[in-house]
Structure 1
Amino acid sequence: MTDRKPMTLPKLAQMHASGEKIAMLTCYDAAFASLLDEAGVDILLIGDSLGNVLQGRGSTAPVSLEDMVYHTFCVSRGHKWAWIIADLPFDSYHVSKEEAWKSAAALVKAGAHMVKLEGGGWTAETVRFISERGIPVCAHLGFTPQTVNALGGFKVQGRDEAGAARMKRESRELVDAGAAMLLYEMVPAALAAEITAESPVPVIGIGAGVGTSGQVLVLHDMLNIT
């Protein structure tokens, strides 16, 4: 794909607006980054899911910022065209906005184009602080793996009327705060489709039906390695 142009945030927004689907996969190293890039994947996500699929951990919570910086650097060395998103890991953005900025900046210095953080409305001011200073942010809502214990396990979120209303409200709050992308995990398909239809920014889904702007999968799951 030598004629391909690098993916940009405006291009992703255009794809969302036109209904062109966005393809996103997790990636953790240069070799797979090169392969997925050549295959035409739009977004490579350096996910803290590396704690599960690479480190053999039971959750993503133990993954460190240093882990994320290392794998972001590896992916950035292998890619040419795809948009690169890196997860802010657990305990790297929770204490203060300033801490969050430093964590996000470390990932950008390693090669990320955008950072992703988990949480609902309580992250709005953090999203604003980071995005106003020039780093694009993707807000991850619905099921948030870093807080699986607080959620009572791997459960679909937003099934009841109150939960659905809260997700719609938080989506608006986060976009108003500057989030340039939303990611919804394990939410009812109808809810995800409704949020996507109303959203001015791309909405990526995982376990959220086919009505979102695009889909993300864990690479190792797709390859049936895990």
Structure 2
Amino acid sequence: MARDYPTEPAPQRPRLTDAEAVSTTAAFADAMEQRRTIRDFTTDPVPLDVVRHAVRAAATAPSGANVQPWRFVVVTDSERKRLLRQGAEEEEQRFYEDRASQEWLDALAPIGTDWRKPFLEDAPVVIAVFEVHKGDDEPRPYYVKESVGIAVGILLTALHRAGLATLTHTPSPMKWINEVLERPAHERPYVLIPVGYAAADARVPAIRRKPLAEVLVEL
């Protein structure tokens, strides 16, 4: 295949034996099965270098045309977190009282969520992830949601592997987040991720994940 763009050698990694590869992926899957969405956090601080390295890992995600259309805003300021909670609760209260269909509310009932979002203030860190669209100094991005979604998955995995608890929160609409975090209009909020340590008395819904046979198809 002819190429007329700059290239460089692909990184070479040691090739594992089949047994090593199976053992490695099995151990990783076992570790990730322990990941749960946490809504009750301690206020204990987390090492910001851990968060920075997790964002660095997230930024290795593939993206359409390598435009890398993401921005990660790490929020530790208590007043900004308070404003994030206030804005989210206002939108969520409207959602639960007026916007959500009964079918949607019924689906949420076993999880026990409501419009109250104290985790946005309690967690020592909140990461606001933005989609970066075309701006004065930004190129047109491609496959934005797919690209940012992959990056967020890597971010959550890295934070979990570091022993931190997370939650993904998507109040709707989210344009008000730009004002709270002083972000330009061409950056569009994608998700808020509280990061910290689970409270000692934290409880999670007794859910079960679908078994492998139900989600895997081999042809």
**Do both proteins adopt the same fold according to a TM-score greater than 0.5, normalized to the shorter chain?**
no
TM-score scaled to structure 2, two decimals? 0.21
Would you tell me which structure has more strand in proportion to its own residues? 1
Q: Which has the higher contact order (CA 8 A, sep 6+)?
A: 2
TM-score scaled to structure 1, two decimals? 0.20
